[in-house]
Amino acid sequence: MVTFVFLALHELVTGPVEEEVLSAEKPKTAERQGINIQNERSLHSGLKEWFAQPQDRLEVPVQGFVVDLVRGDQLVEIQTRNFTAIRPKLKALLPHHPVHLIHPVTLEKVVAQVDGTGTQVLSRRKSPYKGALTDLFEELVRIPELVAHPNFTLEFVLIKEEEVRCRDGKGSKYRKRVSVKDRVLLEVFSTHLFTCAQDFLQFLPDSLPQPFSNKDVQKALALPLHRCRQITYCLRKMDALVVSGKKGNELLFTT
């Protein structure tokens, strides 16, 4: 992992988060070394450091998997993206262990451009990107039925991150061939704990009619329609919503 990333994590974190990350006593030794440690991105590493408590065990083999943190009898996993990748692991562990999944939601972003070697920062700017807690449904749609499991809890972390980019011609067409080399935790704004399906009903305002459609949700929340569909899909799979009918081609829901 390039040197400047580690420098950025300590130089750019501000306020109370910096004091907690740098001064709190944290576990320092992983029980399992290997590719999962060597290829760990800075955002994952930063969140693990931020959440780890002194008594936690790090990188512990459990049932053929390596778990980020073991806290007593609870397994703590940090997944920065792609819930599809962690789905088999969760399904294997949940019948036997309480599992707590942590996922960051980016509210603010700083973009750093680096040279081809990854050792020199060419520019750094604040991105116009603005996130919201409802962005959590972008990933949650991949595992919504697991939310109802009694051993499963989730925590969503609202953060400010630095996205490290390089104009190396290897990125996607969407990014104009600019590669994203790393993501770095700069600040934690807040954390939001969800322990059961009913906790997610907070995203539906009391003003919704009963029954209601996705367009009603869109009007009430002022969100894109695709996000409203993700919300209602997840709530249905959690058994927090039921389909009560149709109006034309639109499904109608009740809580």
For residue 246, name the pLDDT band (cuts at 50, 70, 90): very high
User: Tell me, what's the pLDDT at 118?
Assistant: 78
Question: What is the DSSP secondary-structure string of 128-173?
Answer: -----GGGGHHHHTTSGGGGGSTTEEEEEEEEEEEEEEE-SS-S-T
Write a three-state SS string for 31-58. Answer: CCCCHHHHCCCHHHHHHHHHHCCCCCEE
Decide if pLDDT at 4 tops 80: no
pLDDT tens digits for range 216-228: 999 999 999 999 9
Residues in the chain: 255
pLDDT tens digits for range 140-198: 999 999 999 999 999 999 999 999 999 887 767 676 778 999 999 999 999 999 999 99
**Mind listing the domains of the chain with CATH numbers?**
3-195 (no CATH), 200-254 (1.10.10)
Sheet strands (E) in 3-135: 57-62, 65-71, 74-78, 99-114, 121-126
Kind and range of the H or E run holding 140: helix 137-140
Query: Are 46 and 21 a contacting pair, CB within 8 Å?
Result: yes
pTM: 0.84
Decide if pLDDT at 213 tops 60: yes
Q: What integer best gives the mean pLDDT of the chain?
A: 87
DSSP type of residue 96: T
